[in-house]
């Protein structure tokens, strides 16, 4: 499974990248707005830190506007993936972009039919939002199961990028289902390391070692 970080914060991206396990980055307009920096400057910084897919989201909602933004964003670096919302105009744009060999990440996916449309349009990634579904008492992981099954049935190449992850259990469940990628906030990546027995066991080993006086 690939690990992406879901943030536009440069310090968090640097720290996650230093662990050596980071495969890519996803951003969205809300995450970028939190940083208060120019979007293009930010992306130029990110591509220097992580050598992997970097999702940059368009804010146009019409076909021509999306294509124009995609063209500008693609010029930044070969690793930029154009993130497009799952709307009719977006899917039309994804079809055009994929025919030109431009990678896309279709975002704001909340149903299997939407995921099917994105795959048929040739999206590189589909981003189903599990946390936001859980928030409205709908099991987000059921959607991941459905999409993974549908994509396997038809041998779609679109990668399932589990998004809106809130805790490590989402990561475990996504891995058990066989999703391709998890994009996680920094705090979730950190939590993946933690286990109280590891901490306790290490303390005991180090204390016992001290008793040897070596
Ligand atoms: C996905 O690419 C989005 O950036 C993100 O995962 C949304 O997460 P949220 O529901 O926590 O805002």
Please list every protein residue whose CB sits less than 6 Å from any atom of ligand 1.
6, 26, 28, 107, 127, 129, 131-132, 163-164, 183
For residue 195, report the distance from its CA to the centre of ligand 1, in Å: 26
Q: Which domains does the chain have, with CATH numbers?
A: 2-211 (3.20.20.70)
> Which of 2, 3, 5, 6 for mutating ligand 1's site (highest number of atoms within 8 Å of CB)?
6
Give the per-residue pLDDT at 54. 98
Give the per-residue pLDDT at 61. 98
pLDDT 10s per residue in the chain (214 long)? 999 999 999 999 999 999 999 999 999 999 999 999 999 999 999 999 999 999 999 999 999 999 999 999 999 999 999 999 999 999 999 999 999 999 999 999 999 999 999 999 999 999 999 999 999 999 999 999 999 999 999 999 999 999 999 999 999 999 999 999 999 999 999 999 999 999 999 999 999 999 998 8
Q: Is the dihedral of CA 20, 22, 23, 29 positive or negative?
A: negative
**Closest ligand 1 atom number to CA of residue 83:** 2
For residue 143, report the distance from its CA to the centre of ligand 1, in Å: 16
- The complex's ipTM works out to 0.97
- Burial status of residue 106 (CB atoms within 10 A of its CB: 0-12, 13-18, 19 or more): buried
For residue 23, report the distance from its CA to the centre of ligand 1, in Å: 17
Active-site positions? 83
For residue 162, report the distance from its CA to the centre of ligand 1, in Å: 9
CA–CA gap between residue 73 and residue 67 (Å, rounded)? 10
The β-bridge partners of 104 are: 82
**Closest ligand 1 atom number to CA of residue 163:** 6
């Amino acid at each position: 499974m690939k690990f992406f970080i879901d943030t536009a914060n440069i310090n968090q991206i640097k720290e996650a990248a230093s662990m050596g396990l980071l495969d890519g980055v996803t951003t969205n307009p809300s995450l970028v707005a939190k940083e208060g920096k120019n979007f293009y400057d930010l992306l130029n910084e990110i591509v220097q830190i992580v050598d992997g897919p970097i999702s940059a989201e368009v804010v146009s909602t019409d076909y021509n506007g999306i294509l124009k933004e995609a063209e500008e964003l693609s010029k930044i670096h070969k690793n930029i993936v154009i993130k497009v919302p799952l709307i009719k105009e977006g899917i039309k744009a994804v079809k055009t972009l994929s025919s030109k060999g431009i990678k896309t990440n279709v975002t704001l996916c909340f149903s299997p039919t939407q995921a099917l449309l994105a795959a048929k349009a040739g999206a590189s990634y589909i981003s189903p939002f599990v946390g936001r579904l859980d928030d409205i008492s709908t099991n987000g992981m059921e959607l991941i199961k459905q999409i993974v099954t549908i994509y396997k049935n038809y041998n779609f190449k679109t990668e399932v990028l589990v998004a809106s992850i809130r805790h490590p259990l989402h990561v475990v469940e996504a891995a058990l289902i066989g999703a391709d990628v998890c994009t996680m906030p920094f705090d979730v990546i950190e939590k993946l390391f933690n286990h109280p027995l590891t901490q306790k066991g290490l303390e005991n080993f180090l204390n016992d070692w001290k008793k040897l006086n070596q």
